[in-house]
Structure 1
């Protein structure tokens, strides 16, 4: 009788350990999948000059306008000044 109890306790202990390993791997797998699915660049914005979408962290902002580079920002502002007729 005591031997059966010991065997049952060992089997129960091994089962708990295997279940813990299974849950740990499952959580690690879910975290890995969430990292892959999450876009690292964050919010995308459109360049006012060329309409290319770039991550907000990399874009340049001038008032309410977004630009992919300083060259496009300068060209856009120059074009706006030319349209307004200001030197």
Structure 2
């Protein structure tokens, strides 16, 4: 009976050690990928604005402005200025 308990404890310790090694390897691998592609930049929260033509919401930094209106692309800005809002 005691030999069975010892085997079980050895198995649990080996499993735990293997799991720790796997997690360390995975963390190391992720660190390698980040260093190859450059450190990821932290994103800050941005205001979302709506395209006046198609009602698409996009970050304010990506929007195209025309007076008080915002657009998602130059084509929608041209369509809006020529034809008015989409119906």
Question: Normalising TM by the smaller chain, what interval?
Answer: 0.3 to 0.5
The structure that has the greater radius of gyration is 1
Q: What TM-score do the two structures reach when normalised by structure 2?
A: 0.45
